[in-house]
Amino acid sequence: MKQYTRPLICLAVLIALPWIVQHPYPQHLMILILMWAAIGSGWNLISGYTGQVLFGAAAFFGTGAYTAALLVNKLELSAWWGLPLGAVTSVLLAFPFGWISFRLRGPYFALVTLALNEIMRSIATEWESLTEGMVGLLVTQTWVSKVPYYYVALVLAAGSIVAMEFITRSRLGYYFVSIREDQDAAESLGINTVFYKMVSLCVSACMIGLAGALYTNYMGFIDPKVVFALHDISIVAILVGIVGGVGTIYGPLVGATIMVAVMEGFRSGAFGLLHILANITGSPLVATLTKYVTQAHLLAFGVLVIMVILYLPNGIMGDWPILRKYLFFWKRGSA
Amino acid sequence: MDVFLQTLVAGILKGGLYALIGLGMTLIMGVMGIINLAHGQLMMVAMYATYVCFHYMGIDPYWALLISMPTLFLVGVVIQKFLLNPLMKVESILPENQVLMTVGIGMVLTEIMRFIFTSNYVSVKTSYSAAARFVGGISFSVPLTIAFGFACVLTLLLFWFLLKTDIGRSIRAVSLDGEAAELMGINSERVKAITMGIGAALVAAAGTLLLPVYYLFPDIGGPFTRKAFIITILGGLGSTVGAIFGGVTLGLAEALGATYIGMAYEDMVSLVIFVVVLLFLPGGFKRLTKV
Amino acid sequence: MAYFRVSDITKYFGGLAAVNRVTFQVEQGQIYGLIGPNGSGKTTIFNLINAYFPLTHGEIFFEGQMISGLKTYQICRRGIGRTFQVVKPLKRMTVMDNVIASAFLHSRTKSQAVDLAEEMIEFCGLVPHKLKLAKSLPIASRKRLEITRALATKPKLLLLDETAAGLNPHEMDEAIGLIKKIRDAGVTIIIVEHIMKVIMTISDRILAINHGMAIAEGTPSEVASDPEVISAYLGEDFRAES
């Protein structure tokens, strides 16, 4: 039980957080972090644990998001039904997709997931009679305060992580890793690799789709460009996974925290600090700098991908021993 | 019938350029085994270089080839040497880290160009951009025809290089068996860097030649990477002759699609081809013709 | 009906026959050896039995039923296990976890898998390495782990592929001891080797292969004295050694 003290303390803090921090903007950031922790866990399951890299996570995110939105738009049901149904539709998408695509190995599978992402986006954009196309869909929000959404997101994130704990210790977890390490050896040891890859993909799609449905409920508005975004959703999902730690359970949580910090840090100009600075100094240089920084988050992502792959390929949780050595070395050096 | 022939001509001419794109990518895939998802972005960079030459220095695109190709060659070498070669030595759980790396590179290139040039569409309008010559009742776009000509010359040069020069032979050796090549004294790291440079230079040529009849904005890299991939897979991974067939095929498919289905669906067409090719034709044309 | 029978199996890669109309049968409880020079098709035969490659032609029977045409994992479930020439452990996991992964095949719960894994690890003498990471093991232990993983799938017939390659003489003796122990526990074994000492000492019968075709079959001494085998494979070295 001792190994769970840190996660449980973390959970306790997270549960108490909205009472400690009452300002809506940090609450918004926390909701994003929890949402990305769920997406990252889903990505990690199929890509990190099972070794079938998902380049197009947005395909499932958007499916969940649109399911929730369409329930309101077409059937006049509450968008919250989108959570269970979004999970279902994501799995319904994952199943035939995996069936057709798992014959492809490694990078080719990754590329087909990219294609799936683009195809789903095209469908959402072109099938206007269903989705209103680029105009997008509006959903009335259930609550004004962010706090209830926070707790839903917390349940989602905690649930994903608990699920990962169970899965990794079970037959599924062992089989997934066997497939990742060497698919042929796994088959020779009696593992039906096609079946288990499908299971992994469906569970991942489920987690990611749930997050998408939550997004619709929380933001109140979706359109194809946002929920099927390649760079802002699919690539971020990958970053959450690789920064936090591929193939670790808590990696996605760490990765989500960092990625949200990076994303929002750039978009808001260092959380509004740059804007303040520009106003105080009145300097055009600072103003231009602010303008560039607020648009630079994609550049930051690209650089981050390169840096992580080169220097921290197993992520923060994965390379923690090495990282710790550097941190201590640095601390001792400056003493 | 006229429309059909016209479409065929347009498709083949464009296909010549596509072949250049495919040749670059298939070389990289064959020698390094890397799927370069930054290929279209390299082309985009070359196109911006050409734009700068034309707009700010008054240099005609065809002369700009002499600038864009070497520049992108260097860019390719640097990328391979500092970002991709080191990956061979990194041991990590992360699957597909090479492909991911190229995605990161592509994003960085795109954003840097956006930073410099903004997201606005730009184009290069030369005196002959819209010119056409009529041969037998069919219109041949002048810039496309010249581009096709250059593409043929460059392709022949490439084949001569690969078959007749020492470096070319080293490249072929590494693509067949990297370890054996090393054991026979070939510095495979250097060969890989040069190959990436050549691949980049080829796609740079394609970009430069295409610019007079196309438009340019930073996000144009993505669709071209996808096209590059389709061409390469259609032709069979690592097959240079196949890339030519793949390029022409895609050019024709796009032209036919544009004429008979409509311009809006061009993207969808290439997406569908992408998926179909990946799923059902893993060996590409190569498998069918044993080239 | 023989316990295990391979009938007329053939595999073409392009225009080249890697395995050409090979037929042999193995009785229950035997250790059956396959010898041949490098590239003669021995491992390909294993790959065919294991359904890693599809057969171009021919049939394979196990316990009276045709297994050619089944998928690899189904063949394992029927009771045929195999090791690989280039060992493929789960590098970043412990020895224990490696074996647990295979033990799940015949275990319903995790604790059953753990028990079976413990049993197999003890049987194969890997207990001191139990909690070490697979990638930190020396080659002899890695080969042993490979065998342990295969054993955890409770095979009735075990295909051993070059288990002695890369071992020093002492390790080789230990490997031979383990193989005999496995046979004594009731597992039928087909072993591919090109190290004479190993295969000649433990096999009950041997099939010699060259260029994908069977050239001799019989007891070790019969095969060793077959002139075709000597000229194709053994050469002067073996006569000097014997």
CA nearest to B223, candidates B288, B167, B269, B289: B269
The verdict on residue A326 lying in a domain is no
CB B181, CB B188: distance < 8 Å: yes
Whether residue A98 lies inside any domain: the answer is yes
- 3-state DSSP assignment of residue A290: helix
Q: Do the domain assignments include residue A309?
A: no
| Tally of structural domains, chain B | 1
Interface confidence, given as ipTM, is 0.89
- The CATH number given to whatever domain includes residue B271 is 1.10.3470
List residues of chain C with CB under 8 Å from any CB of chain A: 50, 52, 71-73, 76-77, 81-82, 84, 88-93, 97, 100-102, 104-105, 110, 113, 149-150, 153
**A263 within domain boundaries:** no
CB B252 within 8 Å of CB B12: yes
Q: Is A309 near chain B, with CB under 8 Å?
A: yes
Could you tell me the residue range of the domain that residue B171 belongs to? Answer: 2-289
- What whole-number distance in Å separates Cα of residue C100 and Cα of residue A174? 8
Q: For residues A4 and C113, which has the higher predicted lDDT (pLDDT)? A: C113
Name which of B29, B78, B103 to mutate to probe chain A: the one with the most chain A Cβ atoms within 10 A of its Cβ. Answer: B103
Across the interface, which of B93, B105, B268 has its CB nearest the CB of A318?
B93
3-class SS at C21?
Answer: strand
Total number of domains in chain A: 1
What does DSSP assign to residue A314?
T
Q: For A115-150, how does the pLDDT look when each residue is reduced to its tens digit (9 = 90+)?
A: 899 889 988 988 888 888 888 888 888 888 888 999
Q: What is chain B's pLDDT, residue by residue, as a tens digit (291 residues)?
A: 778 888 888 889 889 999 999 999 999 988 888 889 999 999 999 999 999 998 888 888 888 889 999 999 999 999 999 998 888 877 777 778 889 999 999 999 999 999 898 888 888 887 777 778 887 777 888 888 888 899 999 999 998 998 888 888 888 888 887 778 888 888 888 888 999 999 999 999 999 999 988 889 999 998 899 889 888 888 877 788 888 988 998 888 888 887 777 766 667 777 778 788 777 765 554 444 432
> What's the pTM?
0.89
> Residue B114 has which token pair?
């956006």
Q: Which of A108, A116, A243 to mutate to test the interface with B (most CBs of B within 10 A)?
A: A108
| Chains contacting B (3+ CB pairs below 8 angstroms) | A
Closest residue to B103, CB basis, from A180, A305, A310 = A305
Minimal C-alpha gap between A5 and chain B (Å): 27
What is the count of residue pairs from A and B with beta carbons less than 8 Å apart? Answer: 114
CB B163 within 8 A of CB B136: no
What is the nearest CA distance from B84 to chain A, expressed in angstroms? 9
Q: Per-residue confidence at C242, pLDDT binned at 50, 70, 90?
A: very low
In degrees, to the nearest 5, what angle opens at C-alpha B144 toward C-alphas B141 and B149? 120
* Distance between CA atoms of residues C74 and A81, nearest Å: 41
- For residues B100 and B107, what is the distance between their CA atoms, to the nearest angstrom? 11
Please write the tens of the pLDDT for every residue from A300-315.
999 999 999 988 888 8
> What is the spatial distance between Cα A312 and Cα B94, in angstroms, rounded to a whole number?
10
Count of CB atoms within 10 A of residue A328's CB?
Answer: 10
Residues of the domain holding C58: 4-241
What domain range includes position A196?
13-248
Domain membership flag for residue A286: no
Other beta carbons within 10 Å of B91: 10
Tokens of A133: 């196309």
Distance of alpha carbon A247 from alpha carbon A36, whole angstroms: 16
Residue C123 belongs to domain with CATH number: 3.40.50.300
- Residues of A within an 8 Å Cβ radius of C: 169-171, 174-175, 177-178, 181-182, 184-185, 187-193
Please give the structure tokens belonging to residue B161.
């290089």
A55: in domain: yes
Contact A309 B115 (CB under 8 A): no
Tell me the chain C residues in contact with residue A190 when contact means C-beta distances shorter than 8 Å.
73, 76-77, 102, 105, 153
Give the total number of structural domains in chain C.
1
C110 with A192: Cβ contact below 8 A: no
> Which residues have a Cβ under 8 Å from the Cβ of B79 and sit 6 or more positions away?
B38, B105, B196, B200
Residue B110, Cα to own-chain centre: how many angstroms?
16
pLDDT digits (tens, 9 = 90+) for C110-137: 999 999 999 999 999 999 998 999 889 9
Q: At what angle do helices B188-210 and B2-32 cross, to 10 degrees?
A: 160
B29-34 contact pairs (CB < 8 A, 24+): B29/B232, B29/B237, B29/B238, B30/B175, B30/B237, B30/B238, B30/B239, B30/B240, B31/B171, B31/B174, B31/B175, B31/B191, B31/B192, B31/B195, B32/B80, B32/B84, B32/B192, B32/B195, B32/B196, B34/B84, B34/B98, B34/B99, B34/B102
